[in-house]
Amino acid sequence: MTTTTAATPSRWKRFRNSYLVYSFKRDWIAQFCLAIFLCILLGAVCAPWLAPMNPYDLTQINILNSELPPVWIDGADALFPLGTDAQGRDLLSTILYGARVSLIIGFGAVMLQALIGVTVGLLAGYLGGRIDAFLMRLADIQLSFSTLMVAIIVGALIKAVFGGAVYSDYAVWLLVLIIGLAEWPQYARTVRASVLAERSKEYVDAARVMGYRDRRIMFRHILPNTLSPIFVISTVQIANAIISEAALSFLGLGMPETQPSLGSLIKSGFDYLQSGSWWITLIPGAVLVVLVLVVNLLGDWLRDVMNPRLYKG
């Protein structure tokens, strides 16, 4: 007599049949937000091919074209659909390039936050005792410093040691470092709370009995069971990092005006609001608001889907 066993479904099939995909298909707000986010992301990635001009190429910039209005206002030039800024750069091109810089800073800072925060949270929650107390007090101290204060301190030190030119050349990666170092405690506290709930479960005791090292238990057994809150907080932190970059650039502590980001574009046109050139600030500001809004809405949807306390019948 022969016995047949059911074939194990592939990972792709399990993913398609998961509650995550089921919920996404039924939530039109999540679908709309993801579509908008992918459009902005695609435009930022393909900026060199989609942008009418390169805002970094001085040979393509004519100062005589400065402060031209968008095409729906009298006096516009069809070559510049969204108008130009005070330097004569095409605003559509600078927004595409600026969105790429803002997204690089947002994702890069969140990756650094996750690397530091997840490691600290795992160690604090699993080891406990004095190590837990020390790491959490360190996180409390870090939380007492705002992102702005960290940016002022780090920026001042770098400019004093290496000069302002070096800061401008490496502004993107310095902002990733600043925002990442300023906000890693959000991950540490979340991961620590999850680890405290997981370390007392049977599978952790079984791993200890089998003689596995603490490092393997933390990273191979406990960490995969804490990924849901990590994914949720990452969406929120990406939006926060983009907002932090825009705020720092607006205050003159972030990207220089020669390297467009959404924050530096808003700052560059702020002084021209009263002169009537409102589009230099308001159009990049609207793009920033839409980007942050769709990321936050996707984060809210992901939080609800991955919340084990909600009924998923």
Predicted local distance difference test score (pLDDT) of residue 248: 83
Model confidence at 80, pLDDT cuts 50, 70, 90, reads confident
Give the span between the Cα atoms of 284 and 296, in whole angstroms.
18
On whether the CB atoms of residues 80 and 66 are closer than 8 A, the answer is no
Question: Which two structure tokens, joined as six digits, stand for 140?
Answer: 């409390």
The answer for residues whose C-beta is within 8 angstroms of residue 240's C-beta and 6 or more apart is 183
Q: What is the pTM of this model?
A: 0.85
Tell which residue, 121, 151, 144, 135, has the closest CA to residue 255. 151
**Is residue 50 a contact partner of residue 96, using CB atoms and an 8 Å limit?**
yes
pLDDT, position 308: 56
Architecture of domain 105-309: Orthogonal Bundle (1.10)
CA distance 76 to 78: 7
- Tell me how far apart the alpha carbons of residues 282 and 273 are, in angstroms, rounded to a whole number: 9
Reported confidence tier of residue 235, pLDDT bands at 50, 70, 90: confident
**Which residues, 6 or more positions from 89, have their beta carbon under 8 angstroms from its beta carbon?**
53, 55, 61, 260
3-class SS at 18? coil
Q: Check residue 305 and give its pLDDT.
A: 80
